[in-house]
A and B are shown apart, each in its own frame.
Chain A
Amino acid sequence: MSSTGNFRGYVAVIGLEIHAQLKTASKMFCRDSTEFEAGDNENTSPVSVGMPGTLPVVNAKAIEYSVKAGLALGCEIRKKSVFSRKNYFYPDLPKGYQISQYDEPLCEHGKVTFHLDGQNHSISITRAHMEEDAGKSIHHGEYTLINYNRSGMPLLEIVSGPDMRTPAEAAEYARTVRKILRYLDVCDGNLEEGSLRCDCNVSVRKSEQDEFGTKVEIKNVNSFRFVEKAIEFEIDRQIDAIERGEKILQETRLWDPDKNRTFAMRTKENAQDYRYFPEPDLLPVIITPEMIEKFRKDLPELPLDRAQRFMAENGLPEYDALVLTAEKEVADYFEATAKVAGNAKAASNWIMTELLRELNQAEKSIAQSPIKPQQLGQMVALIEKGTISGKIGKQVFQEMWQSGKNPEDIIKEKNLVQISDSSAIEKMIDEVLAANTQQVADYRGGRTKLFGFFVGAVMKASKGQANPDMVNKVLLEKLKG
């Protein structure tokens, strides 16, 4: 598979439609709860099941979240945007139409930037518009059950330009959008629960040809890894078909994660006419410059800005900065740790090597970490001060992970304080040298490699608590004889 965008002499053209479920407490147009765990059809009301005469009322929080997302995605926010009805019949669409935005969406002309393979990538956002979700059909062969809990859930549909050329680029774009939405705390970005859904539009064309090939839409892609795999599969499938002389059908295909392939769901040959028209039950959404300013002020620092700040202010290498800012919670953890630790790079190392590994193994999120940033920061500070050695640090870290205790308490309890008292160290060294006269003679006879042996013996005698720098220094002096 190509990482440069050349696939057997073809170029792939990829665009993504990301449906982000907004983290509001109630639905887009009524007061039903949005709680995920609710029992079947519990989060419903006359409005969300489309009973006669019921009317939608816009959730102001959903608009706020959408504007914030639009701003963070570099979009222009329309002063006046309009809800429209998208008309089609399906059992899980209770009103026979979906309230969405059509020709006057809330957000337009944005841009998302990220690093991949050492390069900056910039993907355009065509539009981001608000809409309500449909219910869920559960097919049982003979019959179908419908759960309307999802009916009316607030969604922001983020439509990229056809700017991506490789599966990896598409997946990284999707990750970046998710990261931004999570930073804003407007979407929890959970792909398994469907709170973030990703439809991939893929076409291929001969490298020398200018116009785009026929576009195929892939749905049911519920992880970023599958975004990459589904697009990879689709590029190959389309090139194979063209090479065989076949025509690509404009169709919707579903990704089958078990078989690692896409399969046709429906062709768009006789494309549905959705008969969009402005929703007469709702007034246009008016966003004033004052509102935009207020929302802009509320925006948190975005991931890429934060990574750059970590590099500039804390002197972190780019790699550290990107890893630490991948999740807002990790970045917050790092900042809190670094503040107490006094050495940002050391704090970064402890988080990236020890903490993230432990969390990963325990399948815990950083919010669930038994070690709080304050505690980890104190531990790093104690190493910096020389109270404990780095090696003892690892032991303290393990203790903290197990018990959640403060590092000072552990050091006291286990008597792990580093010995920096020169007379105590001299005494230990004298005892080690006295017990190893033969090795001392050999060393002085030129076998200087034995130095390590003496250091190890002294450290062992001190139960690892002797200050290694001092041990080195005193030992050198003494061995000179």
Chain B
Amino acid sequence: MDLNTATFKDISSAVKTKKISSLEVSQFFLKKIKGHDSKLNSYITINDKVEDEAREIDTRLSRGEDVGPLAGVPFGIKDMFCTKGLKTTAASRILENFIPPYDATVVARLKSAGITVLGKLNLDEFAMGSSNETSYFGPTKNPWNLECVPGGSSGGSAAAQAARLSAGTLGTDTGGSIRQPASFCGVVGVKPTYGRVSRYGIVSYASSLDQAGPMVSCVEDAALTLEVISGRDERDATTSNHNVPAFSANLKEDLRGVKIGLMKEYMTDGLDADVQKTLDLAIEAAKKQGAEIVEVSVPLTAQAVPMYYLIASSEASSNLARYDGIKYGYRTPSSSLAAMDLDQFYQKTRGEGFGKEVQRRIIIGTYCLSSGYYDAYYAKACQVRRLLSEQYTQAFKQCDVILSPVTTSPAFKIGGRISDPLAMYLNDIFTVATNLAGLPGMSVPYGRSSGGLPIGIQLTAAHFDEQKMLNVGYSLQQTSPEKWKVANV
């Protein structure tokens, strides 16, 4: 079995039937990480207990226990998920040495389904960024071109997965942080419906937008992961009681009777030629599989980027207040404590602990929530957000899944946009509306630029309609020239 091209099902059945041990599987990936990750910088922390975890799974299997559907599948976890006993940094100096005494619910569910944890993956600091350049631990490189960004914020997950430095990874998506890097690196990334997956134990960035999801090599693996991590969690009041379908068993490539919407607002002239070409190919392929193509419109998506930055920054300014140097995390050196008052202590601790982009968003958010500005900014953005959601509901009366580009262009050069925040924010133009409306979305690799960089196709569905979206993704995957490409680094 070639572990570079083995699905989760392949791996777990091989491990369960003892064709290969869980230990061997984990060691394969561990070796790849140790051999190649110095070029990518996709891992912040390698789990030095991963071999013990793998042995434990082998032991349990030898005792005849049912280890679960992901038996022996090694995962890399974005460093936004708390992992019990394993450092969780959010790529920030302020949490540089934080070791949580608990697992995020998603991590706990994956562990009880049989995964091993290879380590923690790089990201933009507190998931604030679209390029992985804001990480305190240095930028991650795109494995297809080391001069390019992998996207962000789940750039470490996308890069590691594209280079198969993991069998699967977890990402989080607040405004496109799974889909955009998945597109930039050529992997499958799924952002579930808001409320589908528990946020408990995921470092909060913007509570009303954050969702966790798989970033993996194929739609089957995404569907299986989603099955495991979805569902009501008593620790997260915003999770839904919705029934979780057997996503992976239900996958079908036949698209007869499926209506695919093309959203007027996203079919712009400003697209990169390679992105446009990829989009056209995907539409043709969907038609051939029997899908009916219809035009839909969600006019308020034009305002999605400012809406997103107002709401996300406002929530972030409050969510990040807990990093104050009092209870855990970075604290300004104590030699000078005696001379400081409390305000100075906070200013120094947070000024030294947070990077520039995080500080920028905290300041924007604080401003938006301030009395006198609240109504004009935060409250207004929330109102428009509700209208946007209604427009999407109307659009999904006319179609099952909306097909669109993920980004306007393929991955850009490291350093190319970092000094221009506005250009960086506009990078999220096709992805943020999905989060604002709480919809599920995914990116499927479907093309490649003339420069050799992957290009994905974005699919969006109505609330809790992941199955339809996954089916379209599965169908496209069959015709994709980019199906399961592993980057050699």
Closest chain-B Cβ to A149's Cβ sits at a distance in Å of 14
Provide the B76-117 mask, 1 if CB < 8 A to any CB of A, else 0. 000011100000101000010010111010000000000000
- For residue B374, which residues in chain A have a CB less than 8 angstroms away from its CB? 275, 277
The main secondary structure of chain B at its interface with chain A is loop
A46-B98 Cα distance, complex, nearest whole Å: 13
- For residue B201, which residues in chain A have a CB less than 8 angstroms away from its CB? 53-54
Q: Which of B88, B315, B342 contacts A280 (CB 8 A)?
A: B315
Tell me whether A220 is interfacial, beta carbon within 8 Å: no
Q: Which of A50, A56, A273 contacts B370 (CB 8 A)?
A: A273
Closest chain-B Cβ to A86's Cβ sits at a distance in Å of 10
Cβ-defined contact, A53 with B346, below 8 A: no
Q: A51-B328, A55-B200 are in contact. Are A275 and B322 (CB under 8 A)?
A: no
Cβ-defined contact, A97 with B237, below 8 A: no
A94-B325 Cα distance, complex, nearest whole Å: 10
Q: Which of A46, A87, A96, A281 contacts B237 (CB 8 A)?
A: A281
A202-B430 Cα distance, complex, nearest whole Å: 55
- For residue B366, which residues in chain A have a CB less than 8 angstroms away from its CB? 275
- For residue B378, which residues in chain A have a CB less than 8 angstroms away from its CB? 277
Cβ-defined contact, A283 with B318, below 8 A: no
Please report which residues of chain B, range 205-237, place their CB below 8 angstroms from some CB of chain A when the two chains form the complex: 206-208, 234-237
- For residue A283, which residues in chain B have a CB less than 8 angstroms away from its CB? 237-238
Tell me whether A235 is interfacial, beta carbon within 8 Å: no
List the B residue with the shortest CB-CB distance to A46.
Answer: B102
- For residue A52, which residues in chain B have a CB less than 8 angstroms away from its CB? 82, 88, 90, 95, 98, 100, 203-204, 322
A54-B235 Cα distance, complex, nearest whole Å: 8
Cβ-defined contact, A95 with B204, below 8 A: no
Tell me whether B197 is interfacial, beta carbon within 8 Å: no
Closest chain-A Cβ to B229's Cβ sits at a distance in Å of 15
- For residue B322, which residues in chain A have a CB less than 8 angstroms away from its CB? 50, 52, 94-96
Closest chain-B Cβ to A367's Cβ sits at a distance in Å of 37
- For residue B371, which residues in chain A have a CB less than 8 angstroms away from its CB? 273, 275
Cβ-defined contact, B327 with A50, below 8 A: yes
A275-B202 Cα distance, complex, nearest whole Å: 24
Closest chain-A Cβ to B279's Cβ sits at a distance in Å of 34
Cβ-defined contact, B369 with A54, below 8 A: no
Q: Which of B203, B237, B315, B342 contacts A91 (CB 8 A)?
A: B342
Cβ-defined contact, A51 with B100, below 8 A: yes
Contact-residue size bin, chain B (C-beta under 8 Å from the other chain): 35 or more
- For residue B208, which residues in chain A have a CB less than 8 angstroms away from its CB? 280
Tell me whether A371 is interfacial, beta carbon within 8 Å: no
Tell me whether A49 is interfacial, beta carbon within 8 Å: yes
Cβ-defined contact, B318 with A275, below 8 A: yes
- For residue B204, which residues in chain A have a CB less than 8 angstroms away from its CB? 52-53, 281
Interface centre among A46, A56, A282 (most CB of B within 10 A): A46
Cβ-defined contact, B100 with A96, below 8 A: no
Considering only CB atoms and an 8 Å cut-off, how many residues of chain A contact the other chain? 30
Provide the B328-359 mask, 1 if CB < 8 A to any CB of A, else 0. 10000000001000100010000000000000
A52-B320 Cα distance, complex, nearest whole Å: 9
Tell me whether A453 is interfacial, beta carbon within 8 Å: no
Tell me whether A459 is interfacial, beta carbon within 8 Å: no
Tell me whether A265 is interfacial, beta carbon within 8 Å: no
A55-B106 Cα distance, complex, nearest whole Å: 14
Cβ-defined contact, A53 with B237, below 8 A: no
A273-B98 Cα distance, complex, nearest whole Å: 31
Provide the B361-375 mask, 1 if CB < 8 A to any CB of A, else 0. 000001001110010
Interface centre among A46, A54, A58, A90 (most CB of B within 10 A): A54
- For residue B202, which residues in chain A have a CB less than 8 angstroms away from its CB? 53
Tell me whether A36 is interfacial, beta carbon within 8 Å: no
Tell me whether B294 is interfacial, beta carbon within 8 Å: no
Cβ-defined contact, B324 with A89, below 8 A: yes
Tell me whether A57 is interfacial, beta carbon within 8 Å: yes
A89-B342 Cα distance, complex, nearest whole Å: 9
- For residue B342, which residues in chain A have a CB less than 8 angstroms away from its CB? 89-91
Tell me whether B422 is interfacial, beta carbon within 8 Å: no
Closest chain-A Cβ to B81's Cβ sits at a distance in Å of 8
Closest chain-B Cβ to A135's Cβ sits at a distance in Å of 10
List the A residue with the shortest CB-CB distance to B367.
Answer: A275
A282-B378 Cα distance, complex, nearest whole Å: 18
List the B residue with the shortest CB-CB distance to A86.
Answer: B318
A91-B345 Cα distance, complex, nearest whole Å: 11
A57-B199 Cα distance, complex, nearest whole Å: 12
Cβ-defined contact, B104 with A57, below 8 A: no
Other contacts beyond A55-B199, A57-B237, A277-B318: 5, CB < 8 A? A52-B203, A89-B346, A90-B342, A95-B321, A282-B238
6 residue pairs of the A-B complex, CB under 8 angstroms, read A46-B101, A49-B327, A53-B80, A97-B321, A273-B371, A275-B374
